[in-house]
């Protein structure tokens, strides 16, 4: 009799524990009664179920970060090892439809299969070096857009596709580095040529200035100017208080001697 009471007590506690489930923050629950979904969506908190006939299916509605490693084809036919993150979340109001159509393992059935197809289609349009350069953002956006189109009205929000790690074939790395060195050398040579061209332009402008100045001076040396300047000099000498001997023909004065 005592053993029966202990059994009844343990059985009752077991029923109580198994009949209460907890839905955590960032997820929702749906009751499955004898294999069929039943009732409304259960928000975070405690949920009571019949453990003999009902189970609780939990679906995360928070942002999920799913990291995937795969080989991506390139436009030139190379295989590029990539590690990519998929950020997505489930629309709460679509939870029951998702479970009915894809089951609780919806991530493998829909998200990952759609991503692999979209990533392969998009990357096949780009060269391998593009995945390692400034076109990464464009590749990420195109994969995201293609996934959104494929999963339209299925209850998922694709937040972002992030190319975290790209491993190119070793020979391609060497080719890219050689190309970068060649581009740097070409840029340096272009800089030197531009500098020399500017220096040549400067010297040409300077020579043109000297030539123009000499032409102006030459054009200004006329007989009339010489006579006028000679008269000015003669006048200055005549008004000087110093004693001097001047020989002149009236045009060009010549100072023979002068006392200071």
What confidence tens digit (pLDDT) does each residue in 36-90 have?
777 787 777 777 666 667 777 788 889 999 999 988 888 887 888 889 999 999 9
Residue 111 is part of a domain; what is its CATH number?
3.30.479.30
The pLDDT, as a whole number, for residue 59 is 84
pLDDT band for 142, please (50, 70, 90 cuts): very high
pLDDT band for 13, please (50, 70, 90 cuts): very low
CA 231 to chain centre: 79
Distance, in Å, from the CA atom of 79 to the CA atom of 169, rounded to the nearest integer, reads: 8
The pLDDT, as a whole number, for residue 84 is 92
Establish if 109 belongs to a structural domain. Answer: yes
148 with 187, same domain? Answer: no
93 with 176, same domain? Answer: no
Last residue of a domain, one of 60, 84, 100: 60
- Considering the entire predicted model, what is its pTM? 0.58
42 with 96, same domain? Answer: no
Establish if 177 belongs to a structural domain. Answer: yes
142 with 192, same domain? Answer: no
The pLDDT, as a whole number, for residue 6 is 62
Return the bridge partners of 37, or none.
Answer: 32
Helical H segments across the chain, by residue range: 2-18, 95-102, 106, 113-123, 136-150, 170-220, 223-238
Does 158 have pLDDT greater than 70? yes
157, burial (CB in 10 Å: exposed 0-12, middle 13-18, buried 19+)? middle
Domain that holds residue 237: 225-258
155 with 240, same domain? Answer: no
What confidence tens digit (pLDDT) does each residue in 205-259 have?
888 888 777 777 666 666 666 666 666 766 666 666 665 555 555 555 554 454 4
Contact 131, 176 (CB under 8 A): no
Does 101 have pLDDT greater than 70? yes
Establish if 238 belongs to a structural domain. Answer: yes
Establish if 72 belongs to a structural domain. Answer: yes
Token code pair at residue 195: 């500098």
Per DSSP bridges, beta strands 27-33 and 54-60 are antiparallel
Q: Which residue has the higher pLDDT, 191 or 4?
A: 191
Helix (H, G, I), strand (E, B) or coil at 224: helix
Specify the number of domains making up the chain.
4
Tell me the average pLDDT across 161-177.
72
């Amino acid at each position: 009799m005592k053993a029966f009471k202990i059994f009844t007590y343990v059985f009752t506690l077991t029923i109580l524990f198994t009949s209460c489930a907890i839905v955590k923050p960032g997820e929702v629950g749906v009751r499955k009664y004898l294999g069929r979904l039943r009732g409304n969506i259960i928000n975070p908190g405690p949920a009571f179920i019949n453990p003999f006939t009902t189970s609780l299916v939990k679906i995360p509605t928070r942002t999920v970060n799913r990291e995937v490693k795969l080989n991506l084809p390139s436009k030139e036919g190379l295989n590029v090892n990539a590690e990519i993150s998929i950020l997505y979340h489930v629309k709460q109001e679509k939870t029951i439809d998702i479970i009915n159509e894809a089951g609780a393992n919806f991530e493998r059935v829909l998200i990952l299969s759609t991503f692999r197809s979209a990533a392969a289609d998009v990357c096949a349009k780009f060269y391998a070096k593009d995945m390692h350069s400034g076109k990464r953002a464009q590749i990420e956006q195109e994969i995201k857009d293609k996934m959104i189109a494929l999963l339209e009205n299925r209850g998922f929000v694709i937040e972002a596709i992030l190319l975290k790690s790209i491993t190119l074939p070793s020979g391609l790395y060497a080719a890219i580095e050689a190309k970068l060195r060649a581009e740097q050398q070409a840029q340096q040579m272009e800089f030197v040529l531009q500098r020399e061209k500017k220096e040549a332009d400067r010297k040409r402008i300077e020579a043109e200035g000297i030539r123009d100045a000499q032409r102006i001076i030459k054009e200004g040396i006329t007989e009339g100017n010489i006579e006028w300047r000679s008269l000015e000099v003669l006048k200055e000498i005549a008004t000087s208080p110093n004693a001097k001997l001047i020989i002149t023909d009236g045009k060009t004065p010549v100072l023979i001697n002068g006392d200071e």
